A and B are shown apart, each in its own frame.
Chain A
Amino acid sequence: MNLESLYQEIILDHYKHPRGRGLREPFAVEVHHVNPTCGDELTVRVSLVGDVVTDVSYDGQGCSISQASVSVLYEQLVGATVTDGLATTDAFLALMQGRGQVEPDEDVLGDAVAFAGVAKYPARVKCALLGWMAWKDAVAQAVASETPEVAP
């Protein structure tokens, strides 16, 4: 492993030029997640219309990995269905927790494959996951609040 394989060009590009950054209206749910070991913070808003993710807006501060990761998330998940978005999230989670042993599927992950190198640095995995866990939390809340209550 070397620095270049960790900090892929695509990661540095997203870090320096984040896509979709900033908090926007309307949104269904807003969540605030922190990484207690380093103090990184991220606010994520999710907007859904039916089963489609119409927006993921975010703001926060953190390292290049955490900020680039949420920027990639924005590009990958906005416009996708909730189902596909969660499938991508699961694939990303499996990649991050794979200690470098999981072969990334670019068809599912898109640009998020660039984070494959992070999996070999266990201390940085939480950085890469910060935005994805926040989004997953937010979308779960949004779906739950939209599910019509069923009479017992």
Chain B
Amino acid sequence: MTAVHAPLSGLLDVEAVRADFPILSRTVRGGNRLVYLDSGATSQKPVQVLDAERDFYTRHNAAVHRGAHLLAEEATDAYEAARATIARFVGAQTRELVFTKNATEALNLVSYSFSNATAKSQHGRSLPQGAERFVLAPGDEIVVTEMEHHANLVPWQEVCDKTGAVLRWIGVDDDGRLDLDHPVHGLDAVLGERTRVVALTHQSNVLGTVTPVRRVADAAHALGALVVLDACQSVPHMPIDLAELGADYLAFSGHKMLGPSGIGVLWGRYDLLAAMPPFLTGGSMIEVVRMEGSTFAAPPQRFEAGVPMAAQAVGLGAAVDYLEALRSADGSLSGMAAVAAHEHGLTAYALEALAEVPGVRVVGPADTASRGSAVSFVVDGIHAHDVGQVLDDRGVEVRVGHHCAWPLHRRFGVAATTRASFYVYNDTRDVDDLVAAVRHAQSFFGVAR
């Protein structure tokens, strides 16, 4: 058991969890124990997920939603069962869940709905009923935040370039929270009559900040705007209640939540999905095709062109099952509540331990209120790349750089940070190894105090 290294309550039984992740028992860089602290970039996969994918390929593989043979039926059933599992996991209706290749594609799917509807409208081409919600006029406004990952920023910049809409953004305060009450960069100042979309992250991939989605969504809805939530860093780490969040769209990726790479999810309110023109087009997303033109299938199929990633969907379904079956070591919590409590404990432990190292400064909230497990920091006198190199030499694998949130780093006046991010297989020993490695880096570069 983990008692020696786990003085915190509410943690998972990490030894038991780690036994499900074969990669965590390999060694790195000269025989060091692997201390994997880069789950914010991508998580490791348990054997249950790998087995589910292997089982699909070894027993049921066929192209889904095509053909009438037995394997096609089994493959389609497996794919659709995974959709149902994942929908239930986030509290969505099954028909509201679209599979994409990743969250970036899911966010692009929504953003392209605006530019595609606008372009078709300009040429008087047919659009689904209700598509005027997606038609933008020059001067319409799209609102994002300064803490967005590039995946929820660049697509909206592109929409603006294509439609003449204007990008505006909500600022971030010195603690790394959305500065909603700021007179210039706050909610009331940035949102207005022309606001058509508000796209924001649920949890910053750099700061760990959990944003007050409901407040932003209510303000956006009062103006008739749609709310797009980047949930890449929240769905894997906390219970999600779509009704409570109040967003109109939610995007997340499978590979950050123990699932395979190559699959992401877009949830959208069904009436909105039904009003959107298609994104990627081709096979299986159509209703009728003639040489003169085509009509399109109802959602979610409208947005799943081509043979989909069935094995990955099955793997992601298995990942959801795995997360839901987790229990706190003391039996007090289960599923995502247990995951969130585990990470909360580790984050508190890490913030406290890093605060004790002179010359280390956490970028983001220093306390654990409304905060997830991404902990980014700078080490005075050492560039993040060099910190990461020394950590890697000791088997501690973290992310270094701007983490695809370059404007946010600019906001904090740093070019790059070192980010440790925790998940279900990490424990306090990993945090201890991180802190020891950071101290070693300071000593190696001669900046220890």
Residue from B30, B383, B400, B402 in contact with A64 in the complex, judged by beta carbons closer than 8 Å: B383
- Are B30 and A38 neighbours in the complex by a CB distance under 8 Å? no
- Are B389 and A38 neighbours in the complex by a CB distance under 8 Å? no
Question: With an 8 A cutoff between CB atoms, is B302 at the interface?
Answer: no
Q: Which residues of A contact B390 (CB under 8 A)?
A: 3
- Are A39 and B383 neighbours in the complex by a CB distance under 8 Å? no
Contacts known (A63-B383, A127-B385); A39 close to B416, Cβ less than 8 A:
yes
Give the docked Cα–Cα distance between A127 and B400 (Å).
13
- Are A38 and B400 neighbours in the complex by a CB distance under 8 Å? yes
Q: Which residues of B contact A41 (CB under 8 A)?
A: 415
- Are B383 and A62 neighbours in the complex by a CB distance under 8 Å? yes
- Are A38 and B393 neighbours in the complex by a CB distance under 8 Å? no
Query: Would you give the shortest CB distance from A115 to chain B, in whole angstroms?
Result: 14
Give the docked Cα–Cα distance between A2 and B390 (Å).
10
- Are B389 and A3 neighbours in the complex by a CB distance under 8 Å? yes
Number of interface residues of B (CB under 8 A): 18
Query: Would you give the shortest CB distance from B436 to chain A, in whole angstroms?
Result: 15
Residue numbers of B with Cβ under 8 A of A are 30, 382-386, 389-390, 393, 400-402, 406, 409, 415-416, 444-445
Q: Which residues of A contact B406 (CB under 8 A)?
A: 39
Query: Residue of A at shortest CB range from B415?
Result: A39
Interchain Cβ contacts under 8 Å between A and B, 7 examples:
A6-B389, A7-B389, A38-B400, A41-B415, A63-B384, A65-B386, A124-B385
Give the docked Cα–Cα distance between A118 and B142 (Å).
44
Contacts known (A2-B393, A3-B393, A61-B415); A38 close to B402, Cβ less than 8 A:
yes
Residue from B382, B402, B415 in contact with A62 in the complex, judged by beta carbons closer than 8 Å: B415
Give the docked Cα–Cα distance between A44 and B382 (Å).
23
Contacts known (A38-B401, A38-B415, A38-B416); A63 close to B385, Cβ less than 8 A:
yes
Near B by CB (< 8 A), chain A positions 40-59 give 40-41
Query: Would you give the shortest CB distance from A9 to chain B, in whole angstroms?
Result: 12
Q: Which of A2, A41, A63, A127 has the most CB of B within 10 A?
A: A63
Query: Would you give the shortest CB distance from B112 to chain A, in whole angstroms?
Result: 24
Query: Would you give the shortest CB distance from A12 to chain B, in whole angstroms?
Result: 8
| Shortest beta-carbon contacts, A-B, top 10 | A63-B385, A63-B383, A38-B401, A39-B402, A39-B415, A3-B393, A64-B386, A63-B386, A38-B416, A39-B416
Q: Which of B30, B386, B401, B406 has the most CB of A within 10 A?
A: B386
Q: Which residues of A contact B409 (CB under 8 A)?
A: 39
Give the docked Cα–Cα distance between A148 and B280 (Å).
51
Give the docked Cα–Cα distance between A62 and B400 (Å).
12
Question: With an 8 A cutoff between CB atoms, is A147 at the interface?
Answer: no
Query: Would you give the shortest CB distance from B4 to chain A, in whole angstroms?
Result: 29
Q: Which residues of A contact B382 (CB under 8 A)?
A: 64
Q: Which residues of B contact A39 (CB under 8 A)?
A: 401-402, 406, 409, 415-416
Q: Which residues of A contact B30 (CB under 8 A)?
A: 2
Give the docked Cα–Cα distance between A41 and B393 (Å).
25
Q: Which residues of B contact A7 (CB under 8 A)?
A: 386, 389, 444
